[in-house]
Amino acid sequence: MLRLEKRPAPSRFWLWAAPIVAVLCTMVAGGLMFAALGKNPIEALRTIFWEPLFGELAWYFRGQLLLKAGPLVLIAIGLAMGYRAGIWNIGAEGQYIIGAVVGASVGLAFYPAEHWFIFPLAILAGALGGMTWGLIPAILRVKFRTNEILVSLMLVYVAQTILAMAALGFLRNPEGNNFPGSRNLSQYPATANPELISGTGLHWGVVTALIVVLLGWLILSRHRFGFEIRLAGQAPRAARFAGVNPDRMVLICLGLSGALAGLAGIFEVTGPSGIISPDFNVGYGFTAIIVAFLGRLHPVGILLAGLLMALTYIGGEYAATNLGLPSAAVQAFQGMLLFFLLALDVFGNYRLRFGSGRAV
Amino acid sequence: MSDLLRIEGLGKTYPGVVANADVSFAIRPGEIHALLGENGAGKSTLVKMIYGLVRPDTGRMTLHAQAYAPTEPRAARASGVAMVFQHFNLFEALTVAENVALGMENPPPMKTLSARIAQVSGDYGLPLDPARRVGDLSAGERQRVEIIRCLLQSPRLLIMDEPTSVLTPQEVAILFATLRKLAAEGVSILYISHKLEEIRSLCDGATILRRGRVVASCTPRDKTAGELAEMMVGSALSAPARQPGAKGDVALEVAGLSLASPIAFGTALKDIRFAVRKGEVLGIAGVAGNGQDELLLALSGELRTAPGMVRIGGKDAGALRPTQRRALGLVAAPEERLGHAAAPDMTLTENALLSGALRRGLLGRGGFLRWGQAKDFASEIIASFDVRTPGPGAAARSLSGGNLQKFVVGRELLQSPSVVVVNQPTWGVDASAAASIRQALLDRAAQGAAVVVISQDLDELLEISDSFAALNGGRLSAPRPAQGLTVEEIGLMMGGAHGMEVAHASA
């Protein structure tokens, strides 16, 4: 008989082994899925994981890697802070959209003026927009004890409606021949967020993400606020005993993760995407949830997980065009990663025992 | 006379721990037999084997001269063995009769059952109304539900695990009368306790366990409490030393404290008032669930009160949060160690930081943590309070209850507090650790702190308190000097025998 036995202390080995084993399990299960779809599994996995890094077109894909990883990491760090405190922001996608719309609105309000302060102002507005969207579920939870998971998720759909309104209405490009979509912010010099070093994919958003990784690590390991976050998540009553104000914690965590998601949104719309269009969002806010857990809610882990997840995005797209793999298969592949990770996390606190025996 | 239950060479080993080794003793019909030992001496494992919850590794048992090896509690009950646990297994939202029915294999119709409950409760002097909701009952009444549930099965052997820990002295007297009546009818009782005077007055024989082994058996009436304690602990215990110093100014004042409980089925605090002076120890007695948890939360700052209800060092602290109250010199140690006083998965260093950050200067500029100093603080607690652990890097949950309690009390006392509030400081702690915790509390008082000890252990309170009060239904009796108080007076302060009035009214 198999049974699980609680460990006296959480295993440090499994903390970091679980994501690695989860990636391997995903490759095996994903390979089986690709085989069932009639594709050569080895070739599919090679296309996803190998080609973008070392294949013929690697010179192009490697730059894409940072472009995709930047927003994922930025959002995931904010989410991880909340998740560690037991505050579940599922609506980063909405905060990302609102950040982009508000930031773009502020930036385009100056069109066609040229001032140095327009770009920083737009970035700030994006962060504030995302923060506001994140604070809605926070305030509702603090005032009315609503569930922040539901409220933040529902606000994603509200945000998508606002995005459509912006793209078709108040932000529509007056010179765009009535096509939906705003002016291109990356072609408006005052708001452009270009590659800083050509071909690397490094733009201001990626730089911000790297700084946030460093700050996040510093806060979680060295600062009182990080300690309070971990305490609130692990032992809420002990946190209250220690003097942590749970309501304040909800406001800060949701506000912070909203602001970071908003930053990711405004950096995206001023850079790689350029245009506020109805299909502007591509799911970074949801994928960042996987990134946060895959990275063990640890800033450095999130950086690595963000790069890995960016790789599956790029490789998945490449496999879709090259091998005709349906894009849903690639999404299922990413979902498997989270599934295996959560399953393997059991081993962090429990160990597997063979044979019978009675627990007392 | 032949023995009812005979146990020979019983043993049980868990990975790394020998819970019981070569335990042998016998119980005669109608005998009240005590199982005496400290926490962790192996009493619980032994009775769990008798009740079929744990299977022994070695040894055998005979019941009624027949081999007895229950594989589950149902088999034990079928053989006539019943058990009343220390922690009750009752549903608060259901009535007494419904709870009793849930514990039976084939419950009779509710009307018949209620009549039988009323009859048994009358026969054995255990007043209880079958129609009342368990959530509204006192701890003593809840225990009666458990006992009556057992008695309805007409047991031959009744196991009682620490039955008096939640009772007032008057309720203890009622329980003992019931147990003696049962014994006179030929029911054997296995009585587990570490309270020596109770065992001396109640039990016919005693088996004393230490570290899982039988170290002695005796007739408790022939021994003094001191001799029993020595057999139980293995060495002589010294009573805490007290230096009756001069009492200073009032350090903690509570006036008209009324507060709704944040806990489901909790007890609201009603107009509580007391004052504790520097150097004074106030003992607050009471049966669990009479407002102890709420009082601690209101004093520690986890619950805030209207202005003027709590004053620390003369300053109004009603609206202050725990950190701000610590700044004024008040420290607190809640009853529940894991999850409230300490975070289970965090290291001792992190747990030292949990409440010691402010007063021990573990915070640097801009709110950054001084991990080095936090580790030193944790090591200091471990050394000063003899906490048995591999080191400050160990997770709190890896410590035994007693060791974690020493760590928690030590963490608070080493912050040079001016006011100390502790709830159940020695609950589940072995005798020598309990003695050192009490000594530390007295030492802190001698150094000029006002100390409030909330406890259910009357002996403990009488040993260390200067003044004494009791919580009953969220109200606090007026504090009185502890010297010269009799157990009867204390019992009345604790509310006498809960539920007696109700039973008389319905009788």
Determine, for residues B48 and A222 on separate chains, whether the beta-carbon distance falls below 8 Å. Answer: no
CB A353, CB A4: distance < 8 Å: yes
CB B148, CB B165: distance < 8 Å: no
Tell me the three state secondary structure of residue B260.
Answer: coil
How near does any CA of chain B get to the CA of A215, in Å? 12
How near does any CA of chain B get to the CA of A244, in Å? 8
User: Can you name the residues that pair with A2 across neighbouring β-strands?
Assistant: A354
B458 interfacial to chain A (CB closer than 8 Å): no
Least-confidence region, from A214-218, B197-201, B271-275: B197-201
CB A93, CB A281: distance < 8 Å: yes
Q: What angle do CA A213, A346, A148 make, to 5 degrees?
A: 55
pLDDT higher at A282 or B281? B281
* pLDDT at residue B500, as a whole number: 45
Residue A255 has pLDDT above 80, yes or no: yes
ipTM for the predicted complex comes to 0.83
CA distances, A20 to each of A50, A213, A294 (Å): 17, 21, 9
Residue A2 has pLDDT above 80, yes or no: no
Per-residue pLDDT reduced to its tens digit, B325-336: 999 999 999 988
Whole-angstrom Cα distance, residue B192 to residue B391? Answer: 34
B428 interfacial to chain A (CB closer than 8 Å): no
Determine, for residues B346 and A235 on separate chains, whether the beta-carbon distance falls below 8 Å. Answer: yes
Residue A347 has pLDDT above 70, yes or no: yes
Q: Where are the domains of chain B?
A: 5-233, 279-305+320-493
CA distances, B14 to each of B21, B36, B388 (Å): 11, 21, 20
Ramachandran angles phi, psi of B5, nearest 5°: -125, 130
**CATH class of the B279-305+320-493 domain in this structure:** alpha beta
Per-residue pLDDT reduced to its tens digit, A94-141: 999 999 999 999 999 998 899 999 999 999 999 999 999 999 999 999
Task: Return left, alpha or beta for B66; rule: phi > 0 is left, psi -120 to 50 is alpha, else beta.
Answer: beta
Per-residue pLDDT reduced to its tens digit, B32-50: 999 988 767 788 889 999 9
Q: Where are the domains of chain A?
A: 72-311
Q: Average pLDDT, stretch A253-277?
A: 95
Whole-angstrom Cα distance, residue A246 to residue A258? Answer: 18
CB B381, CB B407: distance < 8 Å: yes
Between the ranges A39-53, A132-146, B216-230, where is the mean pLDDT highest? A132-146
CA distances, B266 to each of B4, B259, B473 (Å): 42, 11, 10
Supply A187's token pair: 């072609």
Supply B399's token pair: 């410590």
Tell me the three state secondary structure of residue B271.
Answer: strand
How near does any CA of chain A get to the CA of B298, in Å? 11
Per-residue pLDDT reduced to its tens digit, B454-506: 998 888 888 899 999 999 889 999 999 888 887 778 878 887 655 444 333 33
Q: Which of B202, B254, B246 is nearest to B228 (CA)?
A: B202
Element (H, E) at A256: helix A246-270
CB A74, CB A291: distance < 8 Å: no
Contacts for B302 with CB less than 8 Å, ≥ 6 apart: A240, A241, B322
Other Cβ atoms within 10 Å of B48 Cβ, number: 22
Q: Binning pLDDT at 50, 70 and 90, where does residue B105 land?
A: confident
Determine, for residues A241 and B345 on separate chains, whether the beta-carbon distance falls below 8 Å. Answer: no
CB B144, CB B126: distance < 8 Å: yes
DSSP per residue, B229-254: HHHHHSSPPPPPP---PPP-SEEEEE
Minimum-distance CB partner of B334 among A9, A241, A360: A241
User: Can you name the residues that pair with B338 across neighbouring β-strands?
Assistant: B342
Minimum-distance CB partner of B367 among A223, A239, A358: A223
Q: Which of A92, A19, A32 is nearest to A332 (CA)?
A: A32
Q: Binning pLDDT at 50, 70 and 90, where does residue B241 land?
A: low
Gyration radius of chain A's alpha carbons: 22
Q: Binning pLDDT at 50, 70 and 90, where does residue B16 land?
A: low
Whole-angstrom Cα distance, residue B134 to residue B124? Answer: 20
Residue A345 has pLDDT above 70, yes or no: yes
B353 interfacial to chain A (CB closer than 8 Å): yes
Burial class (CB within 10 angstroms; exposed 0-12, middle 13-18, buried 19+) of B29: middle
Whole-angstrom Cα distance, residue A65 to residue A72? Answer: 11
Minimum-distance CB partner of B321 among A8, A243, A358: A243
Q: Average pLDDT, stretch A11-36?
A: 89
CATH architecture of B5-233: 3-Layer(aba) Sandwich (3.40)
Element (H, E) at A67: helix A58-84
B342 interfacial to chain A (CB closer than 8 Å): yes
What mean pLDDT value characterizes chain B? Answer: 87
Residue B357: its chain A contacts at CB < 8 A?
224, 242
Q: Which of B306, B318, B309, B269 is nearest to B289 (CA)?
A: B269
pLDDT higher at A2 or B413? B413
Determine, for residues B367 and A240 on separate chains, whether the beta-carbon distance falls below 8 Å. Answer: no
Q: Binning pLDDT at 50, 70 and 90, where does residue A355 land?
A: low
* pLDDT at residue A5, as a whole number: 78
